[in-house]
Amino acid sequence: MPRPEDCPLVTAHGMSIPAVGIGTFMSLGQQCVDSVAHALKVGYRHIDTARFYGNEVECGEGLRASGVARDHVFVTTKALHGAEWSNPAVNRMLPATEESLKRLKLDYVDLLVIHWPNPATPIKDTIADLCEAKRRGLTRNIGISNFTLAMVDEAQRHATEPLAYMQNEYHPYLDQTKLRAKAAQYDMAWASYCPIGKGAAFEEPVIVKIAKAHGKTSAQIVLRWQIQQPKTIAVPKSVTPSRIEENFNIFDFVLSAAEMAEISALKRPNARIVSPPFAPKWDD
């Protein structure tokens, strides 16, 4: 297995974040505790959770069960701003973040992300609270998720602390050229969610061919394609110990420029996996 230091770090605005993290959406209960602990034991140093996932308690438990020191692990959580869909009583980001810290049993997170834009709350207010969370020391870094191009510009305009990170759906079928250029414009780190597209492209002949050539699995090829792109982080989710290991074992080979291009060429229309009713109007 790779060592933790084999995983590249993505840096942006003073933030330094391991390029592969363990995703935890739909990872619940003891399975979440065990998969987070296993990931950290085999070398991951980055956990991706959210208030919305209902597993912050378990992510914190997994971190402690792993035996890895807290300050060696990059912990991201996400908050919703404005009226919470799940709990209308909690309508501000700062108390919601304090609750997240209590559930995680941590004094701070490394990264706090606005999970989804909320049409009921002006972006200016969302960003003001996010920046305040950083100033109060609840989080070391701040970021956004599921923002459109115009929303990113607006968020950057109002940010009084470096807005260093954006997390969006990205996999070989989904073209994100415009939003990735927007991230580059502001020197933001890019994190891909659904980074293996839940396995959708694993049987693509191009991916199977490249996997054979490198003696790797399709998942490893797709994840390598992710992290070989500029400032790109991937947070694959798995609760299966062998897959957790497989998804981290991608630092001992390199895809050629031609292989990278072949995988990128798989992009096609209507490839989004995640588009809930409250999603913004996507630029594509």
The CA distances from residue 227 to 45, 53, 173, in Å, are 15, 25, 16
Among 118, 141, 167, 226, binds ligand NDP (CB under 6 A): 167
Name the strand (E) or helix (H) holding 233: strand 232-234
53 catalytic residue (yes or no):
yes
**What residues numbered 253-282 form the site for ligand NDP, per CB under 6 A?**
274
**What residues numbered 54-113 form the site for ligand NDP, per CB under 6 A?**
none
Binding mask 200-219 for ligand NDP (x = CB under 6 A): -------------------x
Q: Least distance from C-beta 103 to ligand NDP, angstroms?
A: 16
Among 97, 145, 228, 249, binds ligand NDP (CB under 6 A): 145
Closer residue to ligand NDP, CB minimum distance, 165 or 259: 165
Q: Least distance from C-beta 138 to ligand NDP, angstroms?
A: 19
Q: Least distance from C-beta 53 to ligand NDP, angstroms?
A: 7
Q: Least distance from C-beta 236 to ligand NDP, angstroms?
A: 4
Give the burial class of 65: count Cβ atoms within 10 A of its Cβ; 0-12 exposed, 13-18 middle, 19 or more buried: middle
Closer residue to ligand NDP, CB minimum distance, 133 or 222: 222
Region from 7-15, 19-27, 133-141, 178-186 binding ligand NDP, contact rule CB under 6 A: 19-27
Q: Should residue 194 be labelled a site residue for ligand NDP when binding is judged by CB under 6 A?
A: yes
The CA distance from 162 to 148, in Å, is 18
Which residue, chain included where needed, has tokens 């799940």?
86
Rounded to the nearest 5°, which phi and psi values hold at 268?
-155, 165
The CA distances from residue 270 to 120, 187, 194, 196, in Å, are 27, 28, 15, 16
The CA distance from 49 to 83, in Å, is 20
The CA distance from 19 to 148, in Å, is 23
Region from 18-26, 64-72, 89-97, 118-126 binding ligand NDP, contact rule CB under 6 A: 18-26
CB neighbourhood size of 14 (10 A)? 9
263 Rama sector, left if φ>0, alpha if ψ -120 to 50, beta otherwise: alpha
Region from 79-87, 98-106, 133-141, 233-241 binding ligand NDP, contact rule CB under 6 A: 233-241
Among 135, 157, 178, 198, binds ligand NDP (CB under 6 A): 198
Query: Cα torsion for 201, 235, 18, 127, to the nearest 10°?
Result: 130
Among 236, 248, 250, 259, binds ligand NDP (CB under 6 A): 236
From 44, 53, 170, 173, the catalytic residue: 53
| Strands 15-18 and 9-12, sheet pairing | antiparallel
The residue whose Cβ lies closest to ligand NDP is 23
Binding site for ligand NDP (CB under 6 A): 23-25, 48, 115, 145-146, 167, 193-199, 219, 235-240, 243, 246-247, 274
Residues assigned a catalytic role: 53
